[in-house]
Amino acid sequence: MTTILDGKTCADKILDNIKEQVSKLDTTPGLAVILVGNNPASSIYVKNKEKKAQYAGFNSIIHKLPKNTTKESLLNLIEKLNKDCNIDGILLQLPLPKHLNTYDFLDKIDPKKDVDGFHPINAGKLLLNEKPYAIPCTPKGIIRLLKTHNIQIEGKNAVIIGRSNIVGKPLSMLLLNENATVTIAHSKTKNLPEITKKADILISATGTENMVTAEMVKKNATIIDVGIIRKDDGKLRGDVDFDAIKDVASNITPVPGGIGPMTIAMLMENTLELHLLKTRTKE
């Protein structure tokens, strides 16, 4: 029988737990999200993050900047937020408009407020298996969902399709730190089905519909779908041909209701952790 890995239920439990912890604090965690331009998908993600931050009891601030924002004004805002003692987490929503270079900004965020874990110091700590201030939310959410369902990672063949800095690369480090044998496949990989067929845990993070078909999946594998594709009818699809694969796999995440909610829950967890780090180091 196939288990549907219900990320929504798991994420709701995590959020309720965060909300309860926050209600017992004398202080309020603060999350600042910066959205540059009007990418429709980013606007939806940011709205969802704001909703959950408010639910958790955080101080949630969205900074919406116009598409033609200059490098200087974005750097000024980051600097201001770095200094703001009411803000524990700073998230710069990606992608940025083309005239702005992502790493000109990500490495200016204080690593102790880098709620995405994208700063080179946090990425380096993850690489070295030293505790980063924050771990990237989507990879962290994937590991959490696997562990919540008691899916063994150690010694398993994990194949990731996609080598992004947001998902594929940090996830490869987390899986390696959990003692999986990790393969990263990408757009130039040859004989992809041959590789994916060996996966005990297969993670697809490409944003391409039907990237993973039933013929590419080993029987009883665990399938994690990170893709979020919005169709013309407004419905969301993932990378994985869910209907064809659900009877081959032993565990599979749905889209929506799988990794998406887990990502947001991990963002809230990271914000709370950074807040507690700040307040406890002050004591």
What does the binding site for ligand GUN look like in residue numbers (CB under 6 A)?
91-94, 116, 137-138, 166
Q: Are 10 and 262 in contact (CB under 8 A)?
A: yes
Q: Are 146 and 172 in contact (CB under 8 A)?
A: no
CB nearer ligand GUN, residue 38 or residue 179: 38
- Respond yes or no: is residue 49 known to be catalytic: yes
CB nearer ligand GUN, residue 91 or residue 216: 91
CB of 189 to ligand GUN, least distance (A): 22
CB nearer ligand GUN, residue 33 or residue 184: 33
The catalytic position among 49, 112, 140, 156 is 49
The catalytic position among 88, 116, 200, 239 is 116
CB nearer ligand GUN, residue 205 or residue 216: 205
The count of other CB atoms within 10 Å of the CB of residue 193 is 11
**What is the residue whose two structure tokens read 């309860």?**
20
* DSSP type of residue 112: G
Please name the amino acid found at residue 173: M
Number of residue whose CB is nearest ligand GUN = 94
Quote the CA–CA distance of 51 and 140 in Å, as a whole number: 20
- Respond yes or no: is residue 116 known to be catalytic: yes
| 3: β partners | 251
- Respond yes or no: is residue 12 known to be catalytic: no
CB of 220 to ligand GUN, least distance (A): 30
Tokens matching residue 89: 């987490």
CB of 241 to ligand GUN, least distance (A): 23
- What is the chain's Cα-based Rg? 19
Sign of CA dihedral 231, 15, 80, 135: negative
The catalytic position among 88, 93, 113, 169 is 93
CB of 93 to ligand GUN, least distance (A): 5
Quote the CA–CA distance of 51 and 257 in Å, as a whole number: 16
CB nearer ligand GUN, residue 94 or residue 248: 94
Helices (H), 178-258: 192-196, 242-245
The residues assigned a catalytic role are 49, 93, 116
